[in-house]
Structure 1
Amino acid sequence: MTEIMGVFGYPIKHSMSPEMHTAAFKQLGLDMAYHAFEVHPEFLEKAINGIRGLGLKGVNVTIPHKVAVLQYLDMVDDLALEIGAVNTIVNMNGQLTGYNTDGEGYLQSLLPFIKSDIKQMHVLIIGAGGAARAVAITLAKYGVRKITIANRTAAKATELALQCSKFCQSKDVSMEEAEKHLSDYDLLINTTSIGMTPHISQVPLSLDELRSETYVSDLIYTPLKTQWLSIAEKKGAPVLNGLGMFVQQGALAFERWTGKKAPAEVMKQAVLRRLNEG
């Protein structure tokens, strides 16, 4: 019998996860299927119970359910608890366990890109939302030298910096201060949606003071190269978009569901085909 996986979100029609996972199942010859389920927030608890009732192998969880879902699970992985959000659920004989593969997925996409020792780096993270929490806490636990959080809402930046300080030196600054001292950072990471299609002319932070040696990373992958990355590239900086993170977080979920090594390159090509179709 075909095993079913899926993704819960609202709205969900934009999701590229079905194409990505379907390509992976086909590549490995697995009798599995992946569907996008549009779950209104008021029906989230019923949808989670439906995983057990219908015997789904597991699901991904996306906006706006990543935090709310925690209360409906039987167990939550320590990293997901630290981040405060779940993006992957595994159903093991009716027991639902929540994980967060976003931060680890980002780290796996980042490490081949960085040509120096990331544990010696001072990292600036722009934003303090769910994606920022996953990335910041994962990098802090990995052991980067220092993390600075810049966010429009100062209180959220302060809270995230305090949490990261359990694992590495961390602080928060205003956006203006981050721009002024941009040369202090070895790696810049935009975790916000600023610059995403259709608002492609917007940038999250001025790069006037950018050094050419500074790595610049954007979690956005629509478009594949944001205006922010284009500006950084023109200044000679190495740039990384968010496609690798999206693929790697999906690959980690795939491996938790199947116990098999994910065909990450096949998954990446499936996403690129969807992006090229517009």
Structure 2
Amino acid sequence: MKRAFLFAHPAAHSLSPRMHNAAFQWIGMDGVYQAVDIEPSCLGKALLRLKEPEVIGANLSLPHKEAVIPFLDEIEPVAKRIGAVNTLMRRDGKLMGTNTDADGFYQSLLEGGYQPQGVALILGAGGAARAAVHALSQAGLTIWIQNRTPSRAEHLLESMQVEGRVFATQEEIPFKEVGLLVNSSSAGLSNPQESPLTVPFPELQAGATVYDMVYKPLYTRLLLEAQEHGYNTVTGIGMLVHQARLAFERWTGQAVPASVMFDAVKDTLQ
């Protein structure tokens, strides 16, 4: 039996086992995917599991995406630029890391009807923001970041060698130039009534898209307000599904339709 893991802390809430086990079943492979709660101090020991012959790979979530890098033999360029690894593979005895978050984000964005225009405004400056910055800068968009700690956002842009603007408060933002608004912060995750900022929605560009990486609840306050003003909205579940689909393909060499993974989790979404 083939095996794959998610290493996270905490891990019990993860939807990844549902998605990957459905994918194993769809391709007819005898395999199992397990989410394991790994405390930060135990990460190195946990990675030894990947040397077992039946293990084909692993995913990483908070707080391990950056901490894992010193343990790896090789890091693919996309992960190196983002500064975070979410997928591990074993090749010729070497432990390799990559990042499927950026491609997963952008594919879900396009599937959601996004038409590139204007400036991309990203809320937050953490690991998820890095994935969005990579994808959007590769697509040629101008990047703006709004973060309560401007120095963190400035470091993000500098370390990724991306030109852009940083705003400490929303009052500074010229919203009329924004064609894409991305929430990469956790606002709305624990409290559906919370919003990352009070957006003056009538001021966004006509036809703008609002994207929220939070997927539980599926429709956050930010997205509901955007819909009320007629803007295109994209939920975060697509990013979760696509990053998982891309990781699974790296491990098995087989492509699985995104619908297979989405159907495995849709009953958990609200």
Deviation at 1:162?
2.8
Deviation at 1:274?
3.0
Deviation at 1:195?
0.7
Question: Could you say what the CA RMSD is over the residues aligned between the two structures, in angstroms?
Answer: 1.6
**Aligned pairs for 1:194-273 within 5 A:** 194-196=187-189, 198-209=190-201, 210-211=203-204, 212-273=206-267
Which residue does the alignment assign to 2:8? 9
**Aligned pairs for 1:14-29 within 5 A:** 14-29=13-28
Secondary structure of the residue aligned to 2:199 is: coil
Structure 1: unaligned runs, 5 residues or longer = none
1:253–1:189: structure 2 CA closer, same or farther, 3 Å change rule? Answer: same
Structure 2: unaligned runs, 5 residues or longer = none
**Aligned pairs for 1:164-175 within 5 A:** 164-166=160-162, 169-175=163-169
Secondary structure of the residue aligned to 1:57 is: strand
Which residue does the alignment assign to 2:31? 32
Query: Which of 183, 186, 190 is matched with 2:176 structurally?
Result: 183
What is the CA–CA distance in structure 2 between the aligned matches of 1:121 and 1:161, rounded to whole Å? 19
Query: Which of 115, 121, 126 is matched with 2:123 structurally?
Result: 126
1:150–1:32: structure 2 CA closer, same or farther, 3 Å change rule? Answer: same
Q: Confirm or deny: 8 A CA contact 2:118 2:177 kept in the other structure.
A: no
Q: Confirm or deny: 8 A CA contact 2:112 2:234 kept in the other structure.
A: yes
1:203–1:182: structure 2 CA closer, same or farther, 3 Å change rule? Answer: same
What is the CA–CA distance in structure 1 between the aligned matches of 2:46 and 2:207, rounded to whole Å? 47
Aligned residues: 268
What are the Cα deviations for residues 231-277 of structure 1, in whole angstroms up to 9, with x where unaligned?
A: 1110111111100000000000011001111221010011112336x
Which residue does the alignment assign to 1:49? 48
**Aligned pairs for 1:79-90 within 5 A:** 79-90=78-89
TM-score, normalization by structure 2: 0.94
Secondary structure of the residue aligned to 1:140 is: helix
Q: Confirm or deny: 8 A CA contact 2:79 2:85 kept in the other structure.
A: yes
Q: Confirm or deny: 8 A CA contact 2:210 2:223 kept in the other structure.
A: yes
What is the CA–CA distance in structure 1 between the aligned matches of 2:146 and 2:78, rounded to whole Å? 22
What is the CA–CA distance in structure 1 between the aligned matches of 2:145 and 2:188, rounded to whole Å? 19
Deviation at 1:55?
4.4
Whether 1:150 and 2:146 are equivalent positions in the alignment is: yes
Which residue does the alignment assign to 1:193? 186
What is the CA–CA distance in structure 2 between the aligned matches of 1:37 and 1:272, rounded to whole Å? 22
Q: Which runs of 4+ in 1 moved over 6 A?
A: none
Q: Confirm or deny: 8 A CA contact 1:27 1:263 kept in the other structure.
A: no
What are the Cα deviations for residues 30-73 of structure 1, in whole angstroms up to 9, with x where unaligned?
A: 11111111111111001112211464110000011000001101
